[in-house]
Amino acid sequence: KAGVTQTPRYLIKTRGQQVTLSCSPISGHRSVSWYQQTPGQGLQFLFEYFSETQRNKGNFPGRFSGRQFSNSRSEMNVSTLELGDSALYLCASSLSQNQGRYEQYFGPGTRLTVT
């Protein structure tokens, strides 16, 4: 079974621009979560989608948004980029039933650098 894929792997953007990151979950997984990983803040939860609905959201400003499509693929968007948005963005998928019981499978991440 193919793992979680994320595109692009690396991205360099300028302050004020916007960016869209993509995630394809493992086949059959209907839950997709997004995390921001930085050296200073560790792994911070952004949001989680299940069946095209956002079920949970972390403490990030409205500039961070996401969506999930009917095939469970997900995208996240960051508008008006700031230097502090530079991070590794990780996507994770898991099985659908009784969410908490199932481990998450992570993609390799998208390394976003904002200059």
Partner 1 sequence: AQSVAQPEDQVNVAEGNPLTVKCTYSVSGNPYLFWYVQYPNRGLQFLLKYITGDNLVKGSYGFEAEFNKSQTSFHLKKPSALVSDSALYFCAVRDNTNAGKSTFGDGTTLTVKP
CB of 63 to partner 1, least distance (A): 20
User: At residue 78, what is the residue type?
Assistant: V
Structure tokens at 39: 């050296």
Lay out the site mask for partner 1 across 16-55 (x = CB under 8 A, - = otherwise).
---------------x-x-x------xx-x--x-x----x
Give CA–CA dist 75/107, Å, rounded: 13
Told to check if 1 binds partner 1 by CB under 8 A, we report no
Give CA–CA dist 104/45, Å, rounded: 13
Give CA–CA dist 77/64, Å, rounded: 6
Specify the residue for token string 């995208």.
Answer: 75
Told to check if 4 binds partner 1 by CB under 8 A, we report yes
- Segment lying near partner 1 (by CB under 8 A), choices 60-68, 69-77, 78-86, 97-105: 97-105
Give CA–CA dist 84/90, Å, rounded: 16
- Segment lying near partner 1 (by CB under 8 A), choices 11-19, 62-70, 72-80, 99-107: 99-107
Residue ranges binding partner 1 (CB under 8 A) = 4, 31, 33, 35, 42-43, 45, 48, 50, 55-56, 58, 90, 92, 98-101, 103-109
